Amino acid sequence: MIVNNSLDEVKKRENALSVIKGIVENKGRDHLFDLTGLAGGFIASKDELSLLETYIGPAVFEEDLQKVGIEHMGGEKIFPLNRTSSGILATILALVEEDSYVVHYLPKLPAHPSIPRSCNLVNANYLEFDDFEEFYIPENTSLVVVTGSTMDLQVIDEEKFKKVIDAAHSQNIPVLVDDASGARLRTVIFNQKKACDLGADIAITSTDKLMPGPRGGLMAGREELVNKIKAKANQFGLEAQPPSVLAMLNGLKAFNGDALIDSFSRKDELYDLLSKDYDIFEKTPNGVMLSPEKLASYLDTDLCDSDLSFILSMILLKEEGIITIPAVSMPGASATIRFDLSTQDAVKLELNQLINKINSSFDMLKEVIKNKEKCKEIVFN
Ligand X SMILES: *Cc1c(COP(=O)(O)O)cnc(C)c1O
Task: Please tell me whether residue 320 binds ligand X under the rule CB under 6 A.
Answer: no
DSSP notation for 110-151: PPPTHHHHHHHHTT-EEEEES-TTT----SSEEEEEEESB-T
Q: How far is CA 66 from the centre of its chain?
A: 23
Minimum CB–partner distance for residue 327 and ligand X (Å): 15
CA distance 191 to 212: 21
> Is residue 329 a contact point for ligand X (CB under 6 A)?
no
**Residue 230 and residue 217: Cα distance in Å, rounded?**
13
**CB closer to ligand X out of 203 and 312:** 203
Instruction: Mark residues 211-250: x for contact with ligand X by CB under 6 A, - for none.
Output: ----x-x---------------------------------
Distance set, CA 58 to CA 84, 227, 284 (Å):
19, 16, 37
> Considering beta carbons, is residue 180 or 220 the nearer one to ligand X?
180
Q: How far does Cα 48 stand from its chain's mean position?
A: 27
* φ and ψ of 201, to 5 deg: -80, -35
Among 118, 150, 291, 306, binds ligand X (CB under 6 A): 150
Minimal CA–CA distance to 80: which of 181, 221, 194? 221
Number of residues that bind ligand X (CB under 6 A): 14
Stretch near ligand X under the rule CB under 6 A, chosen from 70-78, 79-87, 91-99, 296-304: 79-87
128 is a site residue for ligand X (CB under 6 A): no
Q: Which is nearer to ligand X, 83 or 267 (CB)?
A: 83
With CB under 6 A as the contact rule, which of the stretches 138-146, 175-183, 186-194, 241-249 interacts with ligand X? 175-183
Peptide bond into 107 cis (omega under 30): no
Q: Could you give the maximum distance between any two Cα atoms of the chain, in Å? A: 60
Strands 322-323 and 33-34: parallel
Task: Give the interface segment with ligand X, choosing from 60-68, 174-182, 185-193, 320-328 (CB under 6 A).
Answer: 174-182
Regarding 151 and contact with ligand X (CB under 6 A), the answer is yes
- For ligand X, which is the closer residue by CB, 92 or 151? 151
180 lies in the binding site for ligand X (CB under 6 A):
yes
Binding flags for ligand X, 107-126, as an x/- string (CB under 6 A)? -----x-x------------
Determine if 186 is a binding residue for ligand X (CB under 6 A). no
Near ligand X by CB under 6 A: residue from 85, 244, 336, 361: 85
Residue (10 or 49) nearer to ligand X, CB:
10
Instruction: Please state the length of the chain.
Output: 381
CB distance 14 to 188 below 8 Å: no
Give the whole-angstrom CA distance, residue 175 versus residue 351: 41
SS3 of 289, please? strand
The minimum distance between CB 180 and ligand X, in angstroms, equals 3
Closest Cα to residue 317, out of 2, 35, 1?
Answer: 35
Q: Is 178 in the site for ligand X (CB under 6 A)?
A: yes
In eight-state DSSP terms, residue 342 is T
As measured in angstroms, the least distance from the Cβ of 218 to ligand X is: 10
- Tell me the window of 94-102, 166-174, 178-186, 366-374 that interacts with ligand X (CB under 6 A): 178-186
83 binds ligand X (CB under 6 A): yes
Instruction: Tell the smallest beta-carbon distance from residue 365 to ligand X (Å).
Output: 26
Q: 50: which residues sit within 8 A by CB, 6+ positions away?
A: none
Specify which residues 129 forms β-bridges with: 105
List of residues contacting ligand X (CB under 6 A): 83-85, 112, 114, 147, 150-151, 178, 180-181, 206, 215, 217
